[in-house]
Structure 1
Amino acid sequence: MTDLRNTVRKVAAEHNLWPGDSSVVVGVSGGVDSMVLLDVLNDVLVPSRRLVVVHVNYGLRDGASRDEELVRNRCQTFGSSVDFIAFHPDMSSAAHEGSLQRVARDVRYDLFRRVANERDAATVVVAHHRQDQAETVLLRLFRGAGPEALAGMKWLRPLRDDATVQLARPLLDTSPAEIRAYATEHSVPWREDPTNMEGPYARAKLRTTILPSIEEAFPGATDRIAHAGTLLRQISDATLEPERQRWVEAITEERGGTIVLCESALHSAPEVWADRVILDVLRSTIPGAPRTAAVAREVRSLLDSQVGSRVELGQGTVWRDRGGLRIVASRAERVSPMSLSPGSPVTTPFGRITMSVEERLPETDIDDLIGESAREAVMDADALGENVVVRSWEDGDRIQPLGMKGSKGVADVMTDARVPPHERARTLVVTVPEHIVWVVGHRIHHAFRVRDRTTRCARLRFVPGNRRE
């Protein structure tokens, strides 16, 4: 039997799984796969490296505390070069059982990254093996994935899109039988997690029902499926990935701190690559954005819409902009109504608004009372009254701009001012009962202008970025 420790040494050298001499984080659940991985890494890396063992106890089933105790005790037998860290995350938000595994994985990987950053570790190691590879390929196939998704898991990849921390899988070409044989030969303790073999989860059904049936009809199929996934991964990395990167560079550019998909490049790209780039950019810029063909088509259809059209995607928005599609990670924070008065400024995430009231001298010309810039507005203080409020603008807001007889939508005011669609949520308005008196940075209300009969002037100033005067 091949010595698993030598196999891991060879794989690590071939794929450069843990470069340098920094600490290595290893995720250990207490199951046979991760306990064997811990034993192997202790032999392969210690004492030249420090191992940081992370155990996540979700507290979701009986026996979870015993899993934690097993891992802690095992680490203690390895001496001072192995550190043990246990986390007990609150899983109450994972209310829907069908999403529990996904939420747990996200929590686990976020904790891995946190520990890696705190310990200056470049690599997090997990115990995915050959059957996990086969299951992943089949699950993606059943979900209708494309050729790149059908490629198997990588030996090494960035953890959570964080290029500074890598996720390594040194057991990826090791079978479960080899892992259990090592555990028996080296007296490695472990605990069985019944949720791996039961419950409503797709992977559990695949593991207990579908794969055994496939193996019965086609002996050795699991290994061959895993091998096919590995071959597809090699082909993808050598051919599809360079082509994908070429189209990403052709289609995307940064403008004003956000990503824009260029209209001309999207039209010239083959549809399959245009959609792929759209989904990749959504994934990297909008947390939780769905990656489906329907979403890609919906986003691409914005090219046939007028400027300002948008598609909301949970924690982000895709806007139709001039010359392309602008992707904004999240909508700007809304400002709830806040009272504004002399000596009591309003501070918002977008800036600070102050108000002062001054007597107008009889000889002062009206032109001398006009604000020095668009960030300053001067109005009749008595017309304003005392109930002055600052808030975010809303759909349906209207104002009678200075010099006009009729009213105009605030959205149209911003269009005239060429405010980019992705920046409009940052626009503030100053209101009094029944009227918007100032679209901050743009127009004041005609009825609240300074007139010949004005005796007191209210001067409002906007200082962007929460800066103090």
Structure 2
Amino acid sequence: MGLAVSGGPDSLALLVLAAIALPGEIAVMSVDHSLRKEAEAEVALVESVCAALNVPFTPAKVHVGGGNLQAKAREARYTALGDWAIEQSLGAVATAHHMDDAAETLLMRLARGSGLAGLAGVRAFAHVPGYEDVPLVRPLLDFRKAELECVVEACGITPVRDPSNEDSNFERVRVRRHIAEHEWLAPEALARSAQHLAEGWRALEWYAQIDWEEMVTREDTDDAGFRGAPQYRYFCNVPRAIQVETVCRIVSELGGRVTRSEAGVAADRLWRGENASLGGVLARPGVEKVAKVGVEMRVWRFSSEPPRAVH
């Protein structure tokens, strides 16, 4: 198992605990995002701890693009970790997200009006973003941050302190301070709610998979304007949340990209009997009889939009 270790107390605790629990079965990567001059020394600290624990170590240096700094850094970090996992044939990548992270993430996403997928938050099992064949595990979600700091202190290790964790320009820092200032916002309860939401999301994913297998068919036709163009027929008779997932998947199969919000708007139009265009895909509503049950159902047909005429 590969561990993402930054040199902070959370990830160093992950390293120490994993070295005890899985001796000889872990490797570590530490990523320098090229954002602070102290980063090289922090990577060197992780390397020294790995040497003391006899754990294989790989340093990585990435460059973060413009825009949302934290989001871009996260994207670059996961790309480095995903590539490393594939090159080293690792079984999974582990990060040190903990209970406080889960609580903060839930509040942040509630404030943004996120749907169930977003509110499910920091999940114990996922995939490295952009690498569907690389499992991502978060084994410390039952630990408070203070507990992890105690682990590192007990080992006599002095962790690094990222100044961005105290910078109130970042939303997460402001949310963290808000939780600390209000006792009724118990991180344990918030994290437990996030776990319940994650269970609900897994149930929705399971139902959406059944909807895909039983209610969606692919047909090769020239209906989209050129012979052999794929078309998907979707017999839709499920709650809106499932519709959104199935619409997203159909658009993806046709080579398009669409957000859940956009898919929801399209599903609403189709439900009202109106055409919808999204992600380069044209969707048209209708009603057809389902042969095997002998009843009429809504059917939505999806096909790639024909090329626009250029004059």
Report which of the two has the higher share of helix.
Answer: 2
Identity %: 24
Larger relative contact order (Cα-Cα within 8 Å, sequence gap ≥ 6)? 2
TM-score, L = length of structure 2: 0.80
Taking the aligned partners of 1:249 and 1:161, their CA distance within structure 2 comes to: 24
| 1:244 Cα offset (Å) | 2.5
Which blocks of at least 5 consecutive residues in structure 1 are unaligned? 1-23, 332-392, 398-469
| Secondary structure in structure 1 of the residue aligned to 2:57 | strand
Q: What residue is the counterpart of 1:111 in the other structure?
A: 80
| 1:40 Cα offset (Å) | 1.2
- Answer yes or no: is the 8 Å Cα contact 2:6–2:31 preserved in 1: yes
Report Cα offsets for 1:361-388 as digits up to 9, x if no partner.
Answer: xxxxxxxxxxxxxxxxxxxxxxxxxxxx
| Secondary structure in structure 1 of the residue aligned to 2:126 | strand
- Answer yes or no: is the 8 Å Cα contact 2:92–2:135 preserved in 1: yes
Q: What residue is the counterpart of 1:319 in the other structure?
A: 282
Higher Rg of the two aligned structures = 1
Matched, 1:69 2:44: yes
The correspondence for 2:182, drawn from 199, 214, 234, is 214
Let me know the Cα RMSD of the aligned residues: 3.1
Taking the aligned partners of 2:48 and 2:158, their CA distance within structure 1 comes to: 10
Which blocks of at least 5 consecutive residues in structure 2 are unaligned? 221-227, 286-299
| Secondary structure in structure 2 of the residue aligned to 1:242 | helix
| 1:109 Cα offset (Å) | 1.3
Q: What residue is the counterpart of 1:88 in the other structure?
A: 61
Report Cα offsets for 1:141-163 as digits up to 9, x if no partner.
Answer: 11212334323432222223644
Matched, 1:42 2:19: yes
Q: What residue is the counterpart of 1:135 in the other structure?
A: 104
Taking the aligned partners of 2:166 and 2:198, their CA distance within structure 1 comes to: 27
Amino acid at match of 1:318: V
Taking the aligned partners of 1:295 and 1:240, their CA distance within structure 2 comes to: 16
Aligned ranges for residues 144-183 of structure 1 at < 5 Å? 144-160=113-129, 162-183=131-152
| 1:33 Cα offset (Å) | 0.4
Number of positions where the alignment pairs a residue of Structure 1 with one of Structure 2: 288
TM-score, L = length of structure 1: 0.55
| Secondary structure in structure 2 of the residue aligned to 1:188 | coil
The correspondence for 2:206, drawn from 242, 261, 278, is 242
Amino acid at match of 1:326: S
- Answer yes or no: is the 8 Å Cα contact 2:248–2:259 preserved in 1: yes
Report Cα offsets for 1:336-358 as digits up to 9, x if no partner.
Answer: xxxxxxxxxxxxxxxxxxxxxxx
Q: What residue is the counterpart of 1:395 in the other structure?
A: 309
Matched, 1:304 2:274: yes
Taking the aligned partners of 2:173 and 2:249, their CA distance within structure 1 comes to: 29
Taking the aligned partners of 1:181 and 1:224, their CA distance within structure 2 comes to: 22
Q: What residue is the counterpart of 2:261 in the other structure?
A: 293
Q: What residue is the counterpart of 2:196 in the other structure?
A: 231
